């Protein structure tokens, strides 16, 4: 099984590039594990999202606006950026 194109792509990567990809995946699953089950109604108290690749969460349990990876609140700055990107445009009046 497996996709031959993907295989070729992986084979063309250097060892350190592969390690980098694996570490990224691992970091992400650690972030998921730390956030616990994805019931975003229970937000982890305190602190703001520090993910380098944060994404606004669209789970609907908001506000507070939060990151979809770590479920920590987004900072004012991040919310402003998210709004510029078209998130959270359907706010209640
Ligand atoms: Zn959420
Ligand atoms: Zn985050």
Provide CB contacts within 8 A for 36, sequence distance 6+.
42
Is the domain of 31 the same as that of 42?
no
**pTM for the model:** 0.49
Q: How many domains in the chain?
A: 2
Q: Which of residues 90 and 88 earns the better pLDDT score?
A: 88
Domain encompassing residue 78: 38-93
Residue 3 has what pLDDT? 74
24 Cα–ligand 1 center, Å: 21
Is the domain of 15 the same as that of 43?
no
86 Cα–ligand 2 center, Å: 18
Residue-wise pLDDT tens digits, 1-32 = 567 777 777 788 888 888 888 888 887 777 76
Q: Report, as an integer, the average pLDDT of 50-78.
A: 86
Can the peptide bond before residue 32 be classed as cis, meaning omega within 30 degrees of 0?
no
Is the domain of 29 the same as that of 45?
no
Q: Report, as an integer, the average pLDDT of 23-46.
A: 67
Residues with CB under 5 A from ligand 1 (ion): 40, 57, 59
Is the domain of 29 the same as that of 54?
no
Task: Report percent pLDDT > 70 for the chain.
Answer: 75
Is the domain of 30 the same as that of 51?
no
Is the domain of 8 the same as that of 46?
no
């Amino acid at each position: 099984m497996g996709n031959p194109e993907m295989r070729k792509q992986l084979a063309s990567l250097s060892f350190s590039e592969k390690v980098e990809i694996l570490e990224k995946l691992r970091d992400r699953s650690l972030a998921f594990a730390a956030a616990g089950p994805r019931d975003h109604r229970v937000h982890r108290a305190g602190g703001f999202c520090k993910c380098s690749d944060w994404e606004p969460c669209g789970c609907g349990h908001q506000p507070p606006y939060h990151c979809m990876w770590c479920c920590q609140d987004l900072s004012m700055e991040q919310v402003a950026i998210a709004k510029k990107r078209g998130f959270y445009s359907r706010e209640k009046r």
